[in-house]
A and B are shown apart, each in its own frame.
Chain A
Amino acid sequence: MQGANILLEPGVFPRLLQGLWVTIWIAAVSVALSVPVGLVCGWLMTLRNPVIRFVMRVYLDFIRIMPQLALLFIAYYGIARAWNWNLDATGACVLVFILWGGAELGDLTRGALQSIPEVQHETAYMLGLSNWQAFIHVILPQAVRRLLPGSVNLATRIVKTTSLAVLLGVVEVIKVGQQIIDANRFQYPTGTLWVYGVIFLMYFIVCWPLSLVAHALEKRWAND
């Protein structure tokens, strides 16, 4: 049990928290940028133009069927080199999460927009609202309610998936943990258990509240 003392070594906990901060930062930037991308994708998916439909379909299906780790490799080793981009590992992660989050959020947006009954559009039209007014005052508020629970769930998934960043060499919470384990290898041979245990807990503490929020939203708006 004295392996647990590794966590009390000076600097260990603050460093883990710094690592966690990097993780959260990557996730937060990705989620924030996914929102506009997702809304645009969702709007594009509702269009009737067959070319746009086909392109969006392929985009969504490809993103969905590929493991996220494969997408990260494609972005980091493939796309960056092909376009001579000086994309670092963190950048590749954010790029992939935006493309992934955007596609998923796009599909959620499409579903939400299409689930609003035609009669709502017709009523707005009969009341003399312009298309834009109808969208802002009638359609969007209803769509957001249907969109939100799924979006919060998606955010949880993005946070969990940031763990893969370590495999591209990003110095986030897992990498920091590995460095701590290596540095204390002889002093705390069982430190591995405790450090990974703490990282496990940290992810849970970040993700769980998000799940609860998503669940609460689902329950509250289920009957609307």
Chain B
Amino acid sequence: MTETTERTGRDDTIALKVTDLKKHYADAERNVFDGISFEVPKGKVLVIVGPSGSGKSTLLRAIAGLEPIQGGTIALDGTVIETGRPGNEKSGRVKRSEELRTKFGMVFQSYDLFPNKDVLGNITMAPLLVQKRKKDEVEREALELLERVHLADRAHAKPHELSGGQRQRVAICRALILHPEILLLDEITAALDPEMVHEVLEVVVELADAGQTMLIVTHEMSFARAIADRVILLADGRIEERSADAEEFFTHPKTERAREFLHSFDFVRHRDAQAERELREFDAQ
């Protein structure tokens, strides 16, 4: 499990490398993270799972530059882009160049489209304003992306006219059009109605198949199992288990902590199955 983290020097196959990341808040006694290290190889999908409050989202936000870190380094594509320093507790966005920011594509949990723009406007805004690309080229690409997520006919809809699942798919397009090195997905289905979860996850699976590098935080275990190349179990700000073989993690976890965690989901699934069985018996009567 440590075969790559120990390695030093440049490695062309690694997209994101986090080394000994430390984070704490000014007013809290406990550290949020106390030295976390992992890496995401290019074209691979790393999924972070863990109980609520384990710091999964904070980790993603720190990598995105939305929260400062107090120790360790974050390296993108072999270049260290941020070095944590103690005394840097004031929360807020980190100073990063516009270009660097567009190398991370982020989709948040809540629907976060700009309400004042239509779908196409949301997607084309950043390439036009930040990357100064040509309008017709950008719009063509935006429409292609919408085609991929089956929303080509909603290009001129306003965000409030879309369902939650549709909004999340547009948000994914908005991140993809900047051609990010890595896509960060923070519980993107957590606020969705169950019937919409599938349409969003399907899009993400297609992206993974196409070789998009991704770092994903999720509660959807079946999705995690289907999409992950590697898995990290985060609990209480520590990496409790890591696995380069996702299937292995879900079927034969090595640590007690992972077994406990996965068991809680089995229980839920078991309970759902039982409820369904009872319902069917009831209908049969």
Q: Do chains A and B touch in the complex (CB under 8 A)?
A: no
Binding site for A on B (CB under 8 A): none
